[in-house]
Amino acid sequence: MDYDVIYIGSGNAAWQGGRFLRKAGLKILIIEEGLYGGACANRGCNSKAILDSAYEVKSLTDNFEGFGKSGNFEVNWPELMKLKRDRIANMSVFLDGKFREYDLDVAHGKGIILDEHTVQVADKKFTTDKIVICTGLKPIIPDIKGKQYLHDSNDFLDIDELPKHTIIIGAGFVGMEFASILAEAGLEADVIVRGDMALKYFHQPYVQNVIEILKKKNIRFHFNQTVKEVIKSDDVTIDNPEEKVLNIENAMNSDEYLRDPEAKIDNKAYENGFTVNCESGLSLTGDYVIAGMGRTANVEDIGLENVGLKYTNKGIKVNGHLQTDVPNIYASGDVADTGIAKLVTVAIHQSKYLAKELLGEADEITYPVIPAVAYTIPRIATVGIPAYIAEESDEYEVHTIRYGKSYSTVLKNDKRAEAKVIVDKDLNIVGAEIYAADAENVANMFAFIINQKITLEELDYMIYTFPSSSSVCLYKLHNIHYDL
């Protein structure tokens, strides 16, 4: 065999564990078709963090409107985009250096599985004992008329100028986080939601709080809508029995228009760029359309059929050892259908576990509680047992901690900061929902508390830095201990 393990994909699901296997003496090959590091490093997490941060700062300055604020904090998107491109351009180069440092071999090109022990890249074939598929997910583009006009999250995170009026299809992470950026930029957007809720895995009262903030900033929501088609501006529908689509420059001189001067020509669609029509009859116009309808397994044309592996939109099914139906082929990260949240932090956890598994040092994979954050403005986070389950069970109690209302003076005037803390019958903290400007940091605190099973009494004994969001939240948490 040429290699002990071949990883198809170079993201965190691959190299984080691959480096430990190499250190243990195994020969490792990483195959990458695009940029080293995959989606998070080059097109997702890092790009979003850079672009979002400036608008997060803007939002914080707005907390001091009427309380010492002088002038306005404005974000220059082109300059911000230049910063993002400069930083991201170095990521792949940085990881190339890391792969060399870890003595990991790399083959650049599309990896295609030929059989259980052979992967082809261009005209080269590599043999291996084990194969690990780490190809991640890709944005879903719905199969509708005009789908070629849709942009995905990768496009938006690399756009030269922000659109004046954006239509967002979907209200998950992509839809809601991008809507927050557009809202803080003072721009318009329409968000089309197929169901009756946004960010369905997060605490809905907090999601509704964000929606209300966005509504006040020219972001409109349309629930229970299914998109039927997207029409470009230079195709204009004239309202006549034949429902013909004509170029706007010819429409005014067309026979149909001359026969019926009252015929409607959608000039707004022409001016703004695109019309999105829904099955209900809802019609929206804008100059940019984003498909934020989730992501699907990125496994097309990698040779799964050659080894009899099947997959769904959720990915490739694996067992508790991240092993597929083919014993020597594994899947790690977002492409693996594990039933666990598809987050970069989870991909790292799985990659490190798989290194131990392939070295014969692990039982079935286990997971600690996993915090998740929607980087809206303000943030929403969830960790452990969710409130909606706790509220319907006699096994838990839900306590609301309004630490922003009590301590806004030390929270950058963020009066909204709030957490719902779930405790079990033994008064152990088992879950939390957070709604605050820095909810991600508070969520990490709760993840540590829950994983380490730190009791309310132990928390009450500890001393914390002040002022800080964690200290004031924990101080309010002490009240649960005293009240009980």
Q: Over its length of 484 residues, how does the chain's per-residue pLDDT go in tens digits?
A: 899 999 999 999 999 999 999 999 999 999 999 888 888 888 888 999 999 999 999 998 888 887 787 888 899 999 999 999 999 998 889 999 999 999 999 999 999 999 999 999 999 999 999 999 999 999 999 999 999 999 999 999 999 999 999 999 999 999 999 999 999 999 999 999 999 999 999 999 999 999 999 999 999 999 999 999 999 987 654 444 344 333 333 333 333 334 444 444 444 433 559 999 999 999 999 999 999 999 999 999 999 999 999 999 899 999 999 999 999 999 999 999 999 999 999 999 999 999 999 999 999 999 999 999 999 999 999 999 999 999 999 999 999 999 888 887 677 888 889 999 999 988 899 999 999 999 999 999 999 999 999 988 898 889 888 888 888 888 888 777 665 4
Q: State residue 484's pLDDT score.
A: 47
Alpha-carbon distance of 336 to 358, in angstroms, equals 17
Alpha-carbon distance of 166 to 180, in angstroms, equals 12
Any idea what DSSP says for residue 392?
Answer: T
Q: State residue 483's pLDDT score.
A: 55
- CA of residue 328 relative to chain centroid, distance: 31
Which part of the chain is CATH 3.30.390.30? 378-483
Q: State residue 318's pLDDT score.
A: 97
Backbone torsion region of residue 333, taken as left when φ is above 0, otherwise alpha when ψ lies between -120 and 50, otherwise beta: left
Judge: domain 147-233+273-291, CATH 3.50.50.60.
yes
Q: Which residues contact 459 (CB under 8 A, 6 or more apart)?
A: 449, 474, 477, 478, 481
Alpha-carbon distance of 426 to 31, in angstroms, equals 49
Alpha-carbon distance of 54 to 73, in angstroms, equals 9
Backbone torsion region of residue 150, taken as left when φ is above 0, otherwise alpha when ψ lies between -120 and 50, otherwise beta: beta
Instruction: Read off the amino acid at residue 97.
Output: G
Q: What is the DSSP string of 212-269?
A: HHHHTTTEEEE-S--EEEEEETTSEEB-STT--EE-HHHHTTSHHHHH-TT--B-HHH
Greatest distance between any 2 Cα atoms in the chain: 84
Cis, peptide link before residue 368, omega less than 30° from 0 = no
- Domain 3-139+295-358 fold is FAD/NAD(P)-binding domain (3.50.50)
Q: State residue 68's pLDDT score.
A: 80
Q: State residue 481's pLDDT score.
A: 60
Alpha-carbon distance of 149 to 231, in angstroms, equals 8
Q: State residue 259's pLDDT score.
A: 41
Q: State residue 40's pLDDT score.
A: 84
Q: What are phi and psi of 205, to 5 degrees?
A: -60, -35
Which part of the chain is CATH 3.50.50.60? 3-139+295-358, 147-233+273-291
Alpha-carbon distance of 242 to 61, in angstroms, equals 54
The CATH code belonging to domain 378-483 is 3.30.390.30
Q: State residue 264's pLDDT score.
A: 43
Q: Which residues contact 271 (CB under 8 A, 6 or more apart)?
A: 233
